[in-house]
Amino acid sequence: MAILFYSEVDDPEPWRQAFARDLPAIAFRVWPDVGDVDDIAYALVWKPQPGLLKTLPKLKAILSLGAGVDGILADSELPRDVPLIRLVDAGLAQQMSEYALYGALHFHRQMHVYALQQRQVQWRMFEPVPAAHRSVGVMGLGVMGSDFVRKLAPLGFRVLGYSRTPSALPGVVSFHGEAGLRPFLEQTEILVNFLPLTGETRRILNAERLAWLPRGACIINLARGGHLDEAALLAALDSGHLGGALLDVFDREPLPPEHPFWRHPQIFVTPHIAAWAVAEVAVSQVIENIRRVERGEQPLGLVMIERGY
Amino acid sequence: MAILFYSEVDDPEPWRQAFARDLPAIAFRVWPDVGDVDDIAYALVWKPQPGLLKTLPKLKAILSLGAGVDGILADSELPRDVPLIRLVDAGLAQQMSEYALYGALHFHRQMHVYALQQRQVQWRMFEPVPAAHRSVGVMGLGVMGSDFVRKLAPLGFRVLGYSRTPSALPGVVSFHGEAGLRPFLEQTEILVNFLPLTGETRRILNAERLAWLPRGACIINLARGGHLDEAALLAALDSGHLGGALLDVFDREPLPPEHPFWRHPQIFVTPHIAAWAVAEVAVSQVIENIRRVERGEQPLGLVMIERGY
């Protein structure tokens, strides 16, 4: 029995060592050294090449190296009868919360304006807005979004939440479903997107919805590039409707050098680093899930393929 | 009876309105319209002109518009027999904590590196360090520093604290006094300075002490420019010993246009905005203190002039 590792961004070594230690009966193979495909019972992957997974006829499960599985579901030849398992937290929630908290404070305290002023050698002060008068809107209230809401609480912001189905987190003014999106956005000054990317959420932040945000609102996207209409964001910034954006994810990654986001004064680009599965944490979850599959039990993080997460 | 307001950065209007509402018996005068100096029982000031306060012979108290009083104590002609009162919190602690938290996350998540990479159109990822493996060192554990420590707690950093006298905050590894400074700095990766500026703390961050910080350490100064040897900071950044600095305070403010900090790629300059007394909060504290002085009671925030805060 073997597991095939595929990722263009993750280092296989800590995974190889953990498997050698905890599941020595399973051979650890790193793509492209696939070997005999009939050996491969598990695929541990991040954005696998389309068509790769269907070439593995004996798969018992596909294990995502991330919390999102849109990069796997995008494969039109994905074997849809094989269980697909995503990471649940595994250190990701803490990192996402750090990034989101950073972004919320960046815009709340106008650091995007001060960074521009520094380039222009300009000393100009803006009176801080009390956190209680500042609204932070969180899209997606799953494991990640609700961890962020908890970390945000001690700072005293007005927190709004948006989710597909109704939710009730303490201290959060909640909105849900199609009807809830407009009132949620109309009251959100700093928007943080944690949604999974599905058929329903693709381009949820298009020109119409961005226009619902109040003037000067800022956007933090640490979910997926596919949630945001990039041209609509540029138009909303250039018209002065939006104040700034902190973006970790993009339609094309790495962000192409000629992309206008790189040079836009109101956009802060980070290279998809908001959350990064920490091997030491994620590996124990993956190994536990393999053990559960071997015992015929339900793994943690089993994806409902029709729902998309 | 009258109060004289002096500040080159604060708007007197909210103060004028609050006094008209809450203490209508006291005339509110804004410098330079001093009127008859014999009327002036209170001075409400931020960085007053040296020599101004001694021209007011009937002062019952000097009230600082900030938490720090070094700008008042710097006046060699300060009437030292008049009680000097500083703001205690008054919304300042919340703002300082926001700024410090922003700075800690900025360096923790290498946002200073990503900001530089963006200018160079460079997509390069660095694996995040878990917060539990990152040490944040807080200098000054008074009202401000300890508020920051509380807001920092949910994020799971390793928190070190340094103060003049011993302190014991939960979850903080504490150091104090001259002997504690070196071991504190040697273990601090992200340093946040909340100290009051006194004879003892002036240039506490000089070349020798900066060298005690581990390689790659970063500095957040939101206390006073006088704490830091600016030339030593530049040398430590340029040698590669320090990784970055977020500075809100400077030896000369506004920071002169020719100052090298403006154009240094590893320095983020903000224009003394970390905390800004919110008139609506500060005014009630100032008014309460005037009432206490009138009744012969001890005001909140009475400065021990010999100690400097």
Report the C-alpha gap between A309 and A307 in whole angstroms. Answer: 6
Catalytic annotation on B272?
yes
Q: Which of residues 41-80 of A touch B (CB under 8 A)?
A: none
Is B256's Cβ below 8 Å from some Cβ in A? no
Residues B140, B195 contacting (CB under 8 angstroms):
yes
Edge-to-edge strands, sheet with B135-139: B172-176, B158-163, B135-139, B190-193, B217-221, B242-247, B267-269
Q: What pLDDT digit, counting tens, does each position of B4-13 carry?
A: 999 998 889 9
Question: Inter-chain contact A105–B105, Cβ cutoff 8 Å?
Answer: yes
Q: Which of residues 259-298 of A touch B (CB under 8 A)?
A: 262-263, 268-273, 275-276, 278
Catalytic annotation on B259?
no
Which residues in chain A touch residue B269, judged by CB atoms under 8 angstroms apart? 114, 118
The structure's pTM equals: 0.90
Q: What pLDDT digit, counting tens, does each position of A211-246 carry?
A: 999 999 999 999 999 999 999 999 999 999 999 999
Question: Which DSSP symbol is given to A192?
Answer: E
Question: Which of B269, B272, B278, B281 to mutate to probe the A interface, most A CBs <10 Å?
Answer: B269
Sequence-distant (6+) residues with CB within 8 A of B86 are B64, B66, B67, B68, B69, B301, B303, B309
In order of A15, A140, B58, the CA distances from A165 in angstroms are 36, 10, 67
Helix (H, G, I), strand (E, B) or coil at A195: coil
Which residues in chain B touch residue A131, judged by CB atoms under 8 angstroms apart? 94, 98
* Res A34: pLDDT: 96
Q: What pLDDT digit, counting tens, does each position of A125-154 carry?
A: 998 999 999 999 999 999 999 999 999 999
Is A7's Cβ below 8 Å from some Cβ in B? no
| Chain A residue with minimum CA distance to B109 | A99
Task: Of A121-135, B113-127, B207-221, B278-292, give the lowest mean pLDDT range.
Answer: B278-292
Question: Which of B102, B269, B270 has the CB atom closest to A105's CB atom?
Answer: B102
Helix (H, G, I), strand (E, B) or coil at A62: strand
CB pairs A-B closer than 8 Å = 116
* Res B226: pLDDT: 97
Helix (H, G, I), strand (E, B) or coil at A146: helix
Sequence-distant (6+) residues with CB within 8 A of B249 are B221, B222, B223, B224, B225, B227, B272, B274
Report the C-alpha gap between A214 and B183 in whole angstroms. Answer: 49
Residues B267, B244 contacting (CB under 8 angstroms):
yes
Report the C-alpha gap between B178 and B167 in whole angstroms. Answer: 14
Report the C-alpha gap between A246 and A100 in whole angstroms. Answer: 9
| Chain B residue with minimum CA distance to A105 | B102
- Residue A289 is inside which H or E element, if any? helix A279-294
- Residue A138 is inside which H or E element, if any? strand A135-139
Report the C-alpha gap between B124 and B126 in whole angstroms. Answer: 7
Question: Inter-chain contact B257–A131, Cβ cutoff 8 Å?
Answer: no
Which residues in chain A touch residue B273, judged by CB atoms under 8 angstroms apart? 109-110, 114, 125-126, 128
Is B254's Cβ below 8 Å from some Cβ in A? yes
Question: Inter-chain contact A102–B106, Cβ cutoff 8 Å?
Answer: yes
Which residues in chain A touch residue B128, judged by CB atoms under 8 angstroms apart? 95, 98, 273, 275-276, 278
Average pLDDT along chain B: 95
Question: Which of A121, A257, A273 has the CB atom closest to B262's CB atom?
Answer: A121
Annotated active-site residue in A272, A291, A295, A307: A272
Annotated active-site residue in A86, A108, A209, A224: A224
Report the C-alpha gap between A307 and A288 in whole angstroms. Answer: 24
- Show pLDDT as tens, one digit a residue, over chain A (309 residues): 999 999 998 889 989 999 999 999 999 999 999 999 999 999 999 999 999 999 999 999 999 999 999 999 999 999 999 999 999 887 899 999 999 999 999 999 999 999 999 999 999 999 899 999 999 999 999 999 999 999 999 999 999 999 999 998 999 999 999 999 999 999 999 999 999 999 999 999 999 999 999 999 999 999 999 999 999 999 999 999 999 999 999 999 999 999 999 999 999 999 999 998 777 778 899 999 999 999 999 999 999 988 888
Question: Inter-chain contact A102–B118, Cβ cutoff 8 Å?
Answer: no
Question: Which of B95, B109, B117, B276 to mutate to probe the A interface, most A CBs <10 Å?
Answer: B109
| Chain B residue with minimum CA distance to A273 | B125
Question: Inter-chain contact B94–A272, Cβ cutoff 8 Å?
Answer: no
Q: What six digits make up the tokens of B108?
A: 């923790």
Rounded mean pLDDT of B133-150? 96
Is B99's Cβ below 8 Å from some Cβ in A? yes
Question: Which of A98, A121, A271 has the CB atom closest to B131's CB atom?
Answer: A98
Pairing of strands B172-176, B158-163: parallel
What DSSP line would sit under chain B, residue for residue?
-EEEEE-SSS-SHHHHHHHHHH-TTSEEEETT----GGGEEEEEESSPPTTTGGG-TT-SEEEESSS--HHHHT-TT--TTS-EE---STTHHHHHHHHHHHHHHHHHTTHHHHHHHHHTT-----PPPPGGG-EEEEE--SHHHHHHHHHHGGGT-EEEEEESS----TTEEEEEHHHHHHHHHHT-SEEEE-PPP-TTTTT-B-HHHHHHSPTTEEEEE-S-GGGB-HHHHHHHHHTTSEEEEEES--SSSSPPTT-GGGG-TTEEE--S-S----HHHHHHHHHHHHHHHHHTPPPTTB--TTTT-
* Confidence bin at B94 (pLDDT 50/70/90): very high
